[in-house]
Amino acid sequence: MQLSPESLPRRARLLPLLHAEHGRRGWLSPESVTAIAREARIPVAEAWEAATSYRDFHFESPAGKAQVCTGLSCQLAGAATEAGEAVMGCRFRCYEAPARGHDQPFPEQFIREAGPLLAPDVTDWRGLERARSVGREAALAEIESSGLRGRGGAYFPVGRKWAGALAQNRPIALVVNAEEGEPGVFKDRALLCRRPRRVLEGIAIAAELLQPAVVAIVVNGEAEAARMSLEAALASPGLPQNVDPWVVPGGGGYILGEETTLLNALEGRKPVPRLRPPYPVESGLFGMPTVINNVETLANLSVAFRDGAAAFRSSGTVDAPGTKLFSVSGQVREPGVYELPLGIRLAEVIERAGGAVSGSVTAVLTGGPSGGFLAPSEFGVALAPGVLHPTGAMVGAGGLVVLDESSDVRAAVLAMARFNAEESCGKCTPCREGSPRMLDFLRENDAGSLEPLLEVVGAASLCGLGQMAPNPLRSALHFWPELFR
């Protein structure tokens, strides 16, 4: 039996109320935030510090401005702002760069390669039924033996994460993360828009096995189409009876990919990381042991229970079985989502995506702003969890941004440095003060000052965003030192 969102502490209403008000008026005024704070029964200063931390919210009327995407893939496709256009950051429609205007449902034709996950959407609940019929213990053991790892970017073993929460012997919160805020990654949107029932079966299996007291699904606030598709699927007849999720639109920001930040957001607090310990599985949402899984991770549960652990293990690597959704964009002929086994070589993914638009591929950004730029000499690398190159490139959430002979590598590196500087949540000094300065030193070709700063920001920052912000710069300095002299 799950709690309804109304039975959570009132402050949990803050983010949904802010989002609704922003949707109605297009911006938030001090007066409207003050009224919302009253309704959520939190002090105005706390509501204001939370509201003003989200990237999607405007605090002055943006009346009548057209919007243009300034994400990396759109920049590579020549997007430039014209007079009167509002800069939006990444719109997560990198597959149709340069993207303009509002959110669209993910187009089916951009699902370029489908495996078990993106096979036509499920029509029955066979996976859930199997999880039920084998019993809880056996089902948990099966997850363990399937070797499934989280797909949000950290690849933590799902079985181990769940065991950590179950060991607490208290009511659990299940948080499903579809906040998807990394430029160049659009696979959660693809899943929710095109295979919502696959996702729901995964969530239902998790709900069956974890018996959570609350299930929250956080969908990126601007991914209107994905949220509507999810809600439509939730309203369709014949749904598993055991899930009654609280669907929460997020407020935007790369930092929401950090688990404890997402928890603060759900609790109506300023979206910044918490300290660990305690870990979310010990004390997460309102103190409950909390499991946070990416939607792609949960969709994989549906596959694992339908086909069985052995079949699941038949693709991917021994250490990281299964397929991964790669979001391929940039200067590549066939951008889109590719479902391919973990461990596939980067070169093969590029080839499947039709190769470079002009000339040959000169660089690939893997793992987005926390990953790195790889030069052609590295394209033989296997895309699996762990570092792909000592400078810190990694698969992360599976974003691959391709650069070709028409692309300006230096500008792309600067774009990532700027992204990290702008997306720093501002909580800790090294990242807040250091990452904008990394951008300056890079711009000024001052590698001598940059190197020691990369060490400080990487080692001293509080969370992964700051710790990994130096990675794209390190890789660029390694492979293309001449561009920064």
Q: Is 147 exposed, middle or buried (0-12, 13-18, 19+ CB in 10 A)?
A: buried
Cβ 370 to ligand SF4 shortest distance, Å: 11
Instruction: Name the 3-class secondary structure at 14.
Output: helix
Strand pairing report for 361-366 and 372-374: antiparallel
User: Are 363 and 350 in contact, with CB atoms under 8 Å apart?
Assistant: no
Pick 246 or 254: Cβ nearer other proteins: 254
Pick 106 or 254: Cβ nearer ligand SF4: 254
Residue 55 binding other proteins, by CB under 8 A: yes
Cβ 99 to other proteins shortest distance, Å: 24
H/E element, 364:
strand 361-366
Pick 252 or 472: Cβ nearer other proteins: 252
Strand pairing report for 111-113 and 85-87: unpaired
Residue 292 binding ligand SF4, by CB under 6 A: no
Pick 30 or 426: Cβ nearer ligand SF4: 426
Pick 205 or 463: Cβ nearer ligand SF4: 463
Burial 22-52 (b: 16+ CB within 10 A, else e): beeeeebeeebbeebbeebebeeebbbebbe
* Interaction partner, residue 11 (ligand SF4, other proteins, none; CB < 5-8 Å by kind): none
Query: For ligand SF4, which stretch binds (CB under 6 A), given 108-116, 150-158, 382-390, 463-471?
Result: 463-471
Output the six-digit token pair for 141: 């053991």
453-460: long-range contacts (C-beta < 8 A, 24 or more apart)? 456/430, 457/430, 457/431, 460/428, 460/429, 460/430
Pick 208 or 259: Cβ nearer other proteins: 259
User: Are 195 and 202 in contact, with CB atoms under 8 Å apart?
Assistant: no
Cβ 258 to ligand SF4 shortest distance, Å: 7
DSSP letter string, 263-306: HHHHTTS-S-PPPSSSPTTTS-GGGS-EEEEEHHHHHHHHHHHH
Residue 227 binding ligand SF4, by CB under 6 A: no
Residue 369 binding other proteins, by CB under 8 A: no
Using CA atoms, how far apart are residues 328 and 331, in angstroms rounded to an integer?
Answer: 9
Listed in sequence order, the residues at least 6 apart from 407 whose beta carbon sits closer than 8 Å to its beta carbon are 76, 330, 331, 362, 363
Cβ 220 to ligand SF4 shortest distance, Å: 18
Considering only CA atoms, which of 66, 98, 69 is closest in space to residue 83? 66
Considering only CA atoms, which of 367, 341, 362 is closest in space to residue 468? 367
Token pair 């009511």: residue: 171
Residue 153 binding ligand SF4, by CB under 6 A: no
Residue 45 binding other proteins, by CB under 8 A: yes
Using CB under 6 A, which residues numbered 413 to 432 contact ligand SF4?
A: 424-428, 431-432
Report the residue closest to ligand SF4, judged by CB. 466
How many residues belong to the site for ligand SF4 (CB under 6 A)?
A: 15
Cβ 53 to other proteins shortest distance, Å: 4
Cβ 460 to ligand SF4 shortest distance, Å: 9
Considering only CA atoms, which of 85, 89, 93, 95 is closest in space to residue 69? 89
Using CB under 8 A, which residues numbered 413 to 472 contact other proteins?
A: 421-430, 432-434, 436-437, 452-453, 455-456, 459-462
Binding ligand SF4 (rule: CB under 6 A), the pick from 181, 273, 335, 385 is 273
Site pattern 376..415 for other proteins (x: CB under 8 A): ----------------------------------------
Considering only CA atoms, which of 272, 282, 279, 402 is closest in space to residue 350? 402
Binding ligand SF4 (rule: CB under 6 A), the pick from 15, 361, 463, 473 is 463
Using CB under 8 A, which residues numbered 264 to 303 contact other proteins?
A: 270, 275-277
DSSP letter string, 132-199: HHH-HHHHHHHHHHHT-B-TTTT--BHHHHHHHHHTT-S--EEEEEE---STT--HHHHHHHH-HHHH
* Interaction partner, residue 465 (other proteins, ligand SF4, none; CB < 5-8 Å by kind): ligand SF4
Query: For ligand SF4, which stretch binds (CB under 6 A), given 76-84, 235-243, 340-348, 457-465?
Result: 457-465
User: Are 71 and 94 in contact, with CB atoms under 8 Å apart?
Assistant: yes
Q: Which residues bind other proteins (CB under 8 A)?
A: 30-31, 33-34, 37, 42-50, 52-55, 253, 255, 270, 275-277, 421-430, 432-434, 436-437, 452-453, 455-456, 459-462
Q: Which residues bind ligand SF4 (CB under 6 A)?
A: 255, 272-273, 424-428, 431-432, 461-463, 465-466
